[in-house]
């Protein structure tokens, strides 16, 4: 039986710019002759693929397709990937393909491209039960790991008091310097300007009531109760929390954390305890300092713009600070903020992935998460102080 094409006597031609394939049907068998220029520059594969799917759709009766190359054909990976696709399409629909007519080099390349493992499909977004399950699992694991991290931290602090800890005083002292003394310039600048700005803003309003001297009360109370602790916390989250995450994350990246573990040295005791404890101690000290500098900022406006005497301004400040509770409430907050910044920074560092992109994400997250928690906790403090009548 040797007749040409039961549909048409003319060879079908799929033609793109310069690549070209001729297609001849012989009953259930078909043969395909490839010719022309199949190269990446020509983008010839795209048109050919369109033709190919048309042919497949139009002639479902085909069982075997034999491929041949014209002698003058020019080809590169475009042709290989096209034939690879043809092979996949045909085998997927239970048909067979005959590559015996191809030159040896090409068939070798095609053999190499045969996938041995089924490729894992990634990033396929579908709202299914599986996705919900994964999300629940993710949150469950995240919660578990946060609690186990915090539990481990508490145990390590307790071990510090029993003297069985691997924490070194030297690391603690270094960390105190890095997150205490080294932060003084930036804390000075920010809190001075905060006090100054509040004095200016307050003076405009208070002038209307002829109560300008209460600027001293305003600046002083706002600084010690709220702004001192909050500004220091936000500076330290951006400065020290991010540094903790970056340091510990890059140590993880370099297997330095693993090498600590293989020596039986706990990263929690060796790296995290000195950092978090130093921050816990340094942040209240910085807050007291910021309170004072902020009040001085107010003083500058009070004396130089509003023409109060220094003594008058200080006397008014003293009156405002009748109860030390105002100062203590700020300090209590600052201790909690310090704990949050330290733990979030170290946690994010310890849980960053093993590539540089995830290290970047960990550092960003350490700042964002810490600042968010700080603002929320600050609000919670104010609400509970107010309900408990602590003022």
Q: Which is nearer to another protein, 146 or 265 (CB)?
A: 265
Q: What is the rounded distance in angstroms from the CA atom of residue 255 to the CA atom of residue 247?
A: 12
Residues in the chain: 391
| Nearest residue to 106 via CA among 141, 70, 131, 139 | 70
| Smallest distance, another protein to C-beta of residue 256, A | 5
| Smallest distance, another protein to C-beta of residue 183, A | 19
From first CA to last CA, the distance across the chain in angstroms is: 103
Structure token digits, residue 222: 């706002």
Q: Which is nearer to another protein, 9 or 128 (CB)?
A: 128
Q: Which is nearer to another protein, 79 or 251 (CB)?
A: 251
Q: Which is nearer to another protein, 103 or 353 (CB)?
A: 353
| Smallest distance, another protein to C-beta of residue 265, A | 6
Binding site for another protein (CB under 8 A): 166, 168, 247, 250-251, 254-256, 258-265
| Smallest distance, another protein to C-beta of residue 272, A | 14
| Smallest distance, another protein to C-beta of residue 182, A | 15
What does 70-119 look like in DSSP terms, one character per residue?
-TT-EE-HHHHHHHHHHHHHHHHTT-EEE-TTS-HHHHHHHHHTS-SSPP
Q: Which is nearer to another protein, 61 or 155 (CB)?
A: 155
**DSSP 8-state class, residue 9:** S
| Smallest distance, another protein to C-beta of residue 277, A | 18
Kindly report the number of other CB atoms within 10 A of residue 221's CB atom: 17
Structure token digits, residue 330: 């700020």
Which residues lie across from 26 on neighbouring strands? Answer: 29
Q: What is the rounded distance in angstroms from the CA atom of residue 366 to the CA atom of residue 64?
A: 60
Q: Which is nearer to another protein, 9 or 122 (CB)?
A: 122
| Smallest distance, another protein to C-beta of residue 261, A | 6
Q: What is the dihedral of CA 168, 171, 172, 176, to 10 degrees?
A: 170
Q: Which is nearer to another protein, 256 or 378 (CB)?
A: 256
């Amino acid at each position: 039986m040797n007749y040409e094409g039961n549909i048409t006597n003319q060879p079908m031609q799929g033609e793109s710019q310069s690549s070209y394939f001729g297609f001849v049907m012989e009953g259930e068998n078909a043969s395909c002759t490839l010719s022309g220029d199949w190269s990446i520059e020509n983008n010839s594969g795209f048109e050919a693929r369109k033709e190919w799917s048309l042919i497949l759709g139009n002639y479902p009766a085909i069982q075997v397709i034999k491929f041949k190359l014209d002698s003058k054909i020019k080809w590169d990976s475009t042709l290989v990937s096209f034939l690879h696709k043809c092979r996949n399409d045909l085998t997927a629909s239970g048909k067979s393909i005959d590559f015996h007519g191809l030159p040896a080099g090409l068939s070798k390349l095609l053999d190499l491209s045969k996938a041995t493992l089924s490729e894992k499909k990634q990033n396929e977004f579908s709202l299914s039960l599986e996705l919900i399950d994964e999300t629940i699992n993710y949150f469950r694991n995240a919660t578990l790991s946060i609690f186990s991290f915090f539990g481990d931290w508490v145990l390590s602090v307790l071990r510090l008091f029993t003297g069985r800890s691997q924490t070194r005083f030297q690391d603690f002292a270094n960390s105190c310097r890095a997150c205490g003394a080294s932060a003084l310039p930036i804390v000075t600048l920010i809190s001075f300007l905060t006090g100054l700005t509040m004095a200016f803003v307050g003076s405009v309003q208070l002038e209307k009531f002829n109560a300008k001297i209460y600027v001293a009360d305003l600046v002083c109370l706002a600084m010690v109760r709220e702004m001192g602790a909050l500004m220091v916390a936000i500076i330290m989250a951006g400065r020290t929390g991010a540094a903790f995450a970056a340091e510990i994350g890059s140590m993880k990246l370099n297997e330095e954390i693993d090498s600590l573990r293989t020596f039986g040295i706990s990263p929690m005791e060796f790296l995290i305890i000195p950092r978090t404890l130093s921050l816990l101690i340094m942040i209240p000290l910085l807050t007291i300092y910021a309170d004072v500098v902020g009040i001085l900022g107010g003083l500058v406006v009070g004396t130089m713009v509003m023409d109060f005497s220094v003594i008058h301004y200080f006397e008014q400040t003293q009156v405002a600070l009748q109860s030390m509770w105002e100062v203590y409430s700020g300090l209590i907050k600052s201790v909690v903020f310090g704990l949050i910044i330290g733990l979030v920074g170290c946690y994010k560092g310890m849980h960053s992935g093993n590539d540089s992109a995830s290290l970047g994400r960990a550092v960003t997250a350490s700042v964002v998460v810490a600042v968010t928690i700080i603002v929320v906790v600050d609000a919670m403090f104010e609400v509970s102080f107010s309900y408990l009548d602590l003022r």
